[in-house]
Structure 1
């Protein structure tokens, strides 16, 4: 069985038919494509952004709600089999298959047709490095982590998000090697920044830093672009579970030796989900009475100007842009600087650890899945 809860902007094409353009209170999501019986398939992952929303099922098939869909606003089947993971950026999307191939489409891809998928993993020059283990999309770029633990980037480099000077490299039409000996890669669908962990568990970043959102400290907050992968100093102790970045802020989830998880954020507080009332230029802990002693943070998701957090006590916590009342406060003129708890329908399943969150440009999903991609 599935459970998908949706709220926020019901943008064109409408994700839910016969509903208003903005959905204030979280509601149950149901697939309209009844003839395909999609609603009986088990959800594996949801990835959403301005460009599209993709639903991936456990059978390795996926459907796409795209801004280019037909006038009936029906979802389209993605004609790729054995899909392992999907990731949607602001202007592009990428798909990882179980065989380790990556197909992508959208702007900044080396294709005459932005709607056509191309196998970008096959474009890696080293033929022995074409089996891909993980993928993430940024704003206008795609990042590939190979089975040899090497990271490649493809797409736009206008904010130096590929780790090179944007004046000499405006975009990469083929994957370019960014770093070797990498264990994890991190980005976010609305981000022009990129993070990675190397094999020594050191965190590196590059790309847009307009609001100090890369956490490099006060001395570097005025650098709007970080041209090469740069090590971040003063990282809090513990195991880094996830790092995500939006246009104005970044967040990091760290697990300590007692398996307690804490959130840290950096960037600008005025428009987004920083969870604090002052700018910060290093990753500092977010403290809130909503995080009780017996409560633990399961995962979080960053959209353009929002943060969505899920806890082990079943709390859905958010802050940030509220233009479409996607936070359910009833006041669209009031951005939520402080973390607030969002009222949600009673959940069908008791195992809260199998629920996951996904933030888009102006909408949110809470969904049940036995697969987790926050720590892929």
Structure 2
């Protein structure tokens, strides 16, 4: 969604090699989109006139400014020239390469999307066997007649998903992250065999997500929003449902017990009362009841009058999620996933993580059925920064007693990229900047 006439007044460029600057703050008006990528030290900003600007680590020319601009650091927002004509759909960045997806709106037939890349070829996800100093087209017979739906970049590899149900990849593969059955790196695009999809759905409902040395293909028709929208969308997800209700006609409705437990005032008797109410309702009425429970909205006043005794619509979703977080001992058995750090292990319910992090959504909903319940955290966040992330992922809030420093902001910016939280709302980075500014004004 384009955001017209927005002034980015406090976008801090968190790049290690630019930290020596006294005040690394970017100022730009009419920002439409911001692009970066996992472990990337490059940021791209697109304005409402489809003009592209970039800055950051330009080693191997991955900012795409051309052969004449080989500075290792581009310290100011610089307009990128010679961009192919068309609408910029997406830009993803690895450690030494950048990939751009452009849609040509001038063709007579349906809009056609093409891929462009710049940076260092070696074993990286550049899609060609030579270094490229500005964005040039990646050509391959594999997607010549396909429309590209989505792109994703890892540390040094790239994946592409096309409208003809093709998964295509290239780049570094020493850990098998391309999924081609071996560990041989690929300089040019290669088709990857798709596993049997779990759902009879259109390929457009599938998504790809690249981590450092992992890749995920997963089903998701959702987009991140605020916690209220996350919860109502979660009701449609069946992967982690663990309780069933039957309507008066015997239809089965599945739900998430963890969410019901807290939305129904943590009372098992309330779940029994809900079972009794649902058993007398049609499937349509039952869905409306659950939508009210999950969304905190009165959708059907008549039905609400029957359930208002067992739910508390006065409590905000943020408060519900905070109760889940704070009742640490009580919900210990419901925390079924561990993020392992150097000094400590952090336990989360998988249900919460798929709501809030694209990285973990890809992991848990991958068609490869990754059943692991533990992962190491390579984000290099300090414990203090990780606890900010942990609290926010439940509540959309930052604790009042937290003192925000420039170091924490730097770490959280990298953590947002690592955990792929860029689509969540409100944005954790924006909240931190606002709190940081308020603290400095006092």
Contact 2:57–2:74 (Cα < 8 Å) also in 1? yes
> Partner of 1:291 in structure 2?
143
Deviation at 1:254, TM superposition (A): 0.3
Task: String of CA shifts for 1:236-261, please: whole Å, max 9, x gaps.
Answer: 00000001111111010000124100
Helix, strand or coil at the partner of 1:218: coil
- The residue correspondences of 1:37-48 to structure 2 (distance < 5 A) are none
> Partner of 1:90 in structure 2?
none
Task: String of CA shifts for 1:26-57, please: whole Å, max 9, x gaps.
Answer: xxxxxxxxxxxxxxxxxxxxxxxxxxxxxxxx
> Partner of 2:189 in structure 1?
339
CA distance in 2, matches of 1:290, 1:147: 39
> Partner of 2:168 in structure 1?
317
The correspondence for 1:267, drawn from 91, 95, 119, is 119
Helix, strand or coil at the partner of 2:68: helix
Task: String of CA shifts for 1:93-112, please: whole Å, max 9, x gaps.
Answer: xxxxxxxxxxxxxxxxxxxx
Task: String of CA shifts for 1:169-214, please: whole Å, max 9, x gaps.
Answer: 3x87xxx453222111101021011001012210000000111111
1:206 aligns with 2:206: no
> Partner of 2:411 in structure 1?
none
The correspondence for 2:74, drawn from 212, 221, 226, is 226
Contact 2:178–2:215 (Cα < 8 Å) also in 1? no
Helix, strand or coil at the partner of 1:282: strand
- The residue correspondences of 1:84-103 to structure 2 (distance < 5 A) are none
1:158 aligns with 2:16: yes
1:229–1:342 CA distance, 2 compared to 1 (3 A): same
The correspondence for 1:350, drawn from 198, 201, 206, is 201
- The residue correspondences of 1:61-210 to structure 2 (distance < 5 A) are 148-150=6-8, 152-154=10-12, 156-160=14-18, 166-169=19-22, 176-210=25-59
Task: String of CA shifts for 1:63-120, please: whole Å, max 9, x gaps.
Answer: xxxxxxxxxxxxxxxxxxxxxxxxxxxxxxxxxxxxxxxxxxxxxxxxxxxxxxxxxx
> Partner of 1:42 in structure 2?
none
Instruction: Could you tell me which runs of 5 or more consecutive residues in structure 2 were left unpaired when the two chains were aligned.
Output: 225-357, 359-421, 424-442
CA distance in 2, matches of 1:324, 1:303: 12
Helix, strand or coil at the partner of 2:61: coil
1:249 aligns with 2:97: yes
Deviation at 1:151, TM superposition (A): 5.7
Deviation at 1:149, TM superposition (A): 4.1
Contact 1:149–1:183 (Cα < 8 Å) also in 2? no
Deviation at 1:351, TM superposition (A): 1.3
Instruction: Could you tell me which runs of 5 or more consecutive residues in structure 1 were left unpaired when the two chains were aligned.
Output: 1-132, 135-144, 161-165
Task: String of CA shifts for 1:246-285, please: whole Å, max 9, x gaps.
Answer: 1111010000124100000001110211000111101011
CA distance in 2, matches of 1:184, 1:313: 28
Contact 2:5–2:31 (Cα < 8 Å) also in 1? no
Helix, strand or coil at the partner of 2:10: strand
Deviation at 1:153, TM superposition (A): 2.8
As a proportion of its length, which structure holds more strand? 1
1:364 aligns with 2:215: yes
The correspondence for 2:158, drawn from 301, 307, 310, is 307
Helix, strand or coil at the partner of 1:150: strand
Which aligned runs of 4 or more in structure 1 are off by greater than 4 angstroms? Answer: 372-376
Deviation at 1:328, TM superposition (A): 3.2
Helix, strand or coil at the partner of 1:271: coil
As a proportion of its length, which structure holds more helix? 2
Contact 2:8–2:29 (Cα < 8 Å) also in 1? yes
The structure with more radius of gyration: 2
Contact 2:67–2:133 (Cα < 8 Å) also in 1? yes
Deviation at 1:152, TM superposition (A): 3.5
Contact 2:33–2:46 (Cα < 8 Å) also in 1? yes
CA distance in 2, matches of 1:306, 1:178: 31
TM-score (norm 2): 0.47
CA-based RMSD: 2.5
> Partner of 2:354 in structure 1?
none
CA distance in 2, matches of 1:151, 1:300: 29
1:151–1:249 CA distance, 2 compared to 1 (3 A): farther
> Partner of 1:53 in structure 2?
none
Contact 1:152–1:179 (Cα < 8 Å) also in 2? no
